[in-house]
Structure 1
């Protein structure tokens, strides 16, 4: 490539112009690349997983903030149990389905239950329009929590840790929290009865469908793939499956503290198991492991009415099951 000194045979004026053009283009390219690099390394809300290059990165810089919040709801309602449902910003059908079914009843005996939906940021051409809809939905129902992380499957661990932050800071009044996926049919009455049967409020308590010796997937084509340099062991510590787990309210703060020392992985329930192991806590089996069902069985009203959490295929199926179970005071 020619440099500025090679233009001696050209007119001085043309040579200088060409030299300035080349230098200016190089400077512009350098500044552009530098800006992109700084955005990636300095902006805490831009997470990424570059599948095309195989770069694995899960960011949890602990600098997120809530842009839709219910900061005083626990102080006002003093719930015994808080159920938090992580859901995508655009899935209003799932939120409305839960509001009309298992999230509808707020009091069970003398126990108050609070149901909240946790969402992140939506990306797309309709971002501003959807954000306005979310603000209106929040004003109507007052049950949305939205933080400024990008809402995606790869950021589920970030979503979980943001949930822990909110609980630790704004809901110490509750005794327990249940994290419930949007496609899970929850029998709140059975869940409350299980917790009350413990007689005293538990500490260092986490329960659900507990998995033991879950293998770490090394196949890069699998959605749960983890490279050795991210997690070197062959199996995960015990953890309750993410479809629905219950923790005592003393745990969010403890998990947050331990998470500072553990490299995040995007498999959020396994990551919580890693935090529990560091805390020296073993998840508690429920009184009956069959109270949490992940494999869909042939529907039976009597059987399903005795369970706590059932993973369904979609909101319509969840709503259909709930409606049938509660169509009679005696499902069996």
Structure 2
């Protein structure tokens, strides 16, 4: 019902106003003003008008199916990583757990990760996810349908989970499940930031896209019609393959997502629209990315350059394991050369500073 039009044509109906008031109070999750009992119908109407402005345009009203809420409890987490995955991508998750995502590899910082997954319509897949969660304790699942057009829900899900269950972490790393991460390089760079700046806040560090062209080819899965997005180029945003944030940024992004209309291109929605609303600037980290899956192994084994690379797009999971073994082998001399953590961090930091 369009109340403003109604009220222009007929007197205010207090009964209808109080019904709408009750609904709005639930939508905005606020406590009613007890003095409303003594207000005039005109004053109630003004209050209803104010509440209408607070109704979320993009409420994330999904429920957890699986939620390992204790992942970060009782520990001083340096990096929490949330990884976009799909219900059937068990092999990819296993490859990450056995390589760069294994927290046991790191003794100079605390690292934790979770995999973000939507709902599967296949009963057998869902049962397998429950078993996987029981075994590893790192699967977060909400009850929206897991699909390409719902990736923005998954992005908001990550912001929400970190805000609620790991807000004390120093930094957040978001990746997809087909991305390799030299997590030692990530930690070294972030530790360097802390040493220079103290407590780091308002950070969004990524492969920055400038004037990315909007795809107008209807055959492409990235196709956008002009009715969906008018301009031919996106404003500045990050590649969604991998990006890093300070935890305060994620909390603010989650807050403003409720008042930011849904847009299905998740990379742009999270690191473009939400980033702009919270006022965070994109910090360029482009030189450490190698996102061509066909060239991943070549680039991460090229002796003159591979140590400077941090993120790679992986097509063959065996290549992920092979490169991770190379990373670990490369670090062993550093670990034996100096017994203290400062020496190890300094050795890695030379690739960034």
Structure 2 counterparts to residues 286-301 of structure 1, below 5 A = 286=285, 289-295=286-292, 296=295, 298-299=298-299, 300-301=301-302
Moved over 4 A (4+): none
TM-score between both structures, scaled by the size of structure 1:
0.75
The 1:172/1:325 distance shift into structure 2, 3 A limit, reads closer
Partners of 2:126 and 2:263 in 1: CA distance? 28
Q: What SS is found at the alignment partner of 1:207?
A: strand
TM-superposed CA distance for 1:264, in Å, is: 2.1
Q: What SS is found at the alignment partner of 1:156?
A: helix
Q: Is the 8 A contact 1:60 1:158 kept in 2?
A: no
Max Rg structure = 1
RMSD: 2.1
2:217 is the alignment partner of 1:219: yes
Task: Answer with 86-95 or 226-235: which moved more.
Answer: 226-235
2:270 is the alignment partner of 1:268: no
Partners of 1:72 and 1:326 in 2: CA distance? 29
Give unmatched runs, 5+ long, in structure 1: 1-58
Instruction: Choose between structure 1 and 2: higher helix proportion.
Output: 2
Structure 2 counterparts to residues 182-201 of structure 1, below 5 A = 182-198=177-193, 199=195, 200-201=198-199
Structure 2 equivalent of residue 162 of structure 1: 157
Q: What SS is found at the alignment partner of 1:284?
A: strand
Of the three residues 200, 203, 209, the one matched with 2:201 is 203
The 1:107/1:172 distance shift into structure 2, 3 A limit, reads farther
Partners of 1:259 and 1:105 in 2: CA distance? 31
CA offsets 1:299-331 (integer angstroms, 9 cap, x no match):
425332332111122323222322334345369
Q: Is the 8 A contact 2:60 2:258 kept in 1?
A: no
Structure 2 counterparts to residues 109-148 of structure 1, below 5 A = 109-123=107-121, 127-148=122-143
Q: Is the 8 A contact 2:249 2:280 kept in 1?
A: no
Partners of 2:117 and 2:279 in 1: CA distance? 31
TM-superposed CA distance for 1:255, in Å, is: 1.2
TM-score between both structures, scaled by the size of structure 2:
0.71
Partners of 1:304 and 1:192 in 2: CA distance? 17
